Amino acid sequence: MTPRDASDANDNANGRRWSDLDRPPLNEASLRRALLRQEGLWRDVQVVQRTGSTNSDLVALATEGKADEGVVLIAEEQDAGRGRLDRQWTAPARSGLFFSVLLKPTQVPVERWGWLPLLTGVAIATGLSRAVGVDTALKWPNDVLVTVGDEERKAGGILAERAGTDAVVVGIGINVTLREDELPVPGAGSLALAGAVSTDRDTVLRAVLRSLEQWYERWRGAGGDPAASGLQETYAAGCATLGRSVRAELPGGRSITGEAVAVDGDGRLVVATGDGVQEPVGAGDVVHLRAV
């Protein structure tokens, strides 16, 4: 019996797997039938009951040469999920989608790989709009926002990590059915709280992965050119950060405040400061200072 089989058996024995009938487990066989195609991007779909971090697991597999492009690793529960800047991502089992994908954009110059988190955000927003009727916005560089009441809240996040010299693992977390009393921090949200017409996780996952495949192939086919692929324009159109007053907290403890005016060809946020300087921000934490 493998560790995964043992985990499944223990869950079934304890009744945990079916303890919340509003949150059924993902159907791995159905996902495979829907997503794996001879000429498609996705080559394997694996669902595990519990792990620390799907990103850490997939980076390790890729580094050891045990996983190739197109592998999708999904966890029903993570106890060491990570976001940017080493922040933790926690949620009850089966309340969301916690998964990572392995990409090898070797046809694209490495200097353009920084667009992958932004591309993933566009793919998530597109997929959610089609599948569950939820309007989303993107907070630069990696947050997915939904509207709950009249408040903008974070319902998803993206973490991209290099795996060796030729691969990138992109981790995605989406809060699907979290209730108000389950939210980990103020400002968090979920698809359910945003009024999604469906919270079926199989449906949401298929929509997001199909959208990601379409955008990735489009971007890769254009040699990673964000303008030629339409990625730069589409990201800017859905980016809630643009046009806002922001504070960018930069590596090294420096911060700048100003208006976010553009996303440049390298995927950096351009901030116009009060002294007339337009400064590109490639890394750091951005805080929205006022609503649109």
Tens-place pLDDT, residues 55-66: 999 999 999 999
Are the C-beta atoms of residues 7 and 49 closer than 8 Å to each other? yes
105 and 138 inside one domain: yes
Does 92 lie in the same domain as 230? yes
**Residue 1 included in any domain:** no
Position with higher pLDDT, 84 vs 172: 172
pLDDT above 90 as % of the chain: 82
Residue 155 clears pLDDT 80, i.e. is over it: yes
Taking only the tens place, the pLDDT of each residue in 220-250 is 999 999 999 999 999 999 999 999 999 999 9
What pLDDT, in 10s, does the model give residues 72-123?
A: 999 999 986 555 545 566 789 999 999 999 999 999 999 999 999 999 999 9
Query: Are 81 and 118 members of one domain?
Result: yes
**Where residue 57 sits, what CATH number does that domain have?**
3.30.930.10
The predicted structure's pLDDT at residue 291: 55
Whether residue 232 sits in one domain with residue 123: yes
CA atoms of 171 and 124, how far apart (whole Å): 12
Clarify whether residues 177 and 253 are in a common domain: no
Over residues 198-206, mean pLDDT: 97
The two tokens of residue 283 are 């890394």
User: Which domain range does residue 33 map to?
Assistant: 18-237
Query: Residues 177, 258: one domain?
Result: no
For the domain that residue 281 is a member of, what is the CATH number? Answer: 2.30.30.100
| b (16+ CB within 10 A) / e for 215-249 | bbeebbebebbbeebebbebbbebbbbbebebebb
Look at residue 2 and tell me if it is in a domain: no
